[in-house]
Amino acid sequence: MMNTDKDIIRKQVSEFYTASVNKGCGCSCGCTPTLQKGVAVKTAGYNADEISALPEDAVVNSFGCGNPLAFSNVKEGQTVLDLGSGAGIDLLIAARKVGPSGRVIGVDMTDDMISRARSNIAAAGYENIEVRKGIIENLPVEDASVDWVISNCVINLSPEKNKVFSEIARVLKPGGQISISDIVVDDLPEWVRESAVLYGACVAGAISEKEYIGGLIAAGLQSVEVTDRFVYGGDQLEALIESEIPQETSSCCCSSEKIAAEVSKTLKGKIWSARFSGKK
């Protein structure tokens, strides 16, 4: 793939998430329940206490597929970096864990996500979180400067995953750790791989657990393993995909439902969210 192709993919992904974070409920076929249904699936890895402490906007606009901070042993005073921080759900949870003496840095390439995260951070009143604009393939973060790299449903979207894995190894302090939730698959039909909408919805760009672990080890990380899995059933997959896909106009009502229904018929039980751990 030429560099321009990779930049085009990143631009399409960024436009996709600009539309997703700004989507309203303009359609007449159940938009609100659909959104709520999708949010329930995406936030299934969080406990009720975590969710209730957050601004509603951060929860509604979560586009993750797990809870990378669950059981992560992040300690007070540490520095956490979130790759593809979106509207900020995991930034806020990390900020609570590291406390006022710790730091949390989010990196995202999408302006509307960055401003949404900043307003959610302000609403929650945290002063130890900073959101930087940049791409995860070339992180605007110093070498050996963070204790934890976390990420939630983002690396599958990168057209240059090995670069992301190298960047993770570069920015971690010696002994620093990862906790990454992401979508993985064993294999996908060609029509799914070729769909730009399904790429944006975290399906078409997904790789296997073996490739993921191999990429992290090749980048220099150790003890890399999958510590948790959530295999999507048909309804869950449908809800997840549907809630990621933006409705461009109210007149395209139900198009995301149709795509999501078709994909979930093909992929139910064959696609899952995995949590990867490891250290430098």
Ligand X SMILES: C[S@@+](CC[C@H](N)C(=O)[O-])C[C@H]1O[C@@H](n2cnc3c(N)ncnc32)[C@H](O)[C@@H]1O
DSSP code for 201: T
Q: Which of 62/256 has CB closer to ligand X?
A: 62
Q: Which of 203/223 has CB closer to ligand X?
A: 203
Which of 45, 84, 102, 246 is in the footprint of ligand X by CB under 6 A? Answer: 84
117 part of the interface to ligand X, by CB under 6 A: no
106 part of the interface to ligand X, by CB under 6 A: no
Dihedral of the alpha carbons of 191, 196, 202, 206, in degrees to the nearest 10: 50
Which of 120, 152, 236, 256 is in the footprint of ligand X by CB under 6 A? Answer: 152
Cβ neighbours of residue 208 closer than 8 Å, sequence gap 6 or more? 184, 185, 186, 187
Strand partners, 131: 106
Which of 17, 212, 272, 276 is in the footprint of ligand X by CB under 6 A? Answer: 17
Nearest distance in Å: CB 218, ligand X:
19
Nearest distance in Å: CB 63, ligand X:
4
Which of 63, 232, 272, 276 is in the footprint of ligand X by CB under 6 A? Answer: 63
DSSP code for 142: -
Q: Which of 47/222 has CB closer to ligand X?
A: 47
* Cα 247 to Cα 154, 236, 239, distances in angstroms: 20, 19, 14
Own/partner contacts of 122-125, CB < 8 Å, gap of 24 or more, are 123/55, 123/57, 124/54, 124/55, 124/58, 124/92, 124/95
Name the one range near ligand X by CB under 6 A: 86-94, 166-174, 188-196, 219-227. 86-94
- Footprint of ligand X on this chain (CB under 6 A)? 10, 13-14, 17, 62-64, 84-87, 89-90, 108-110, 113, 135-137, 152-154, 157-158, 202
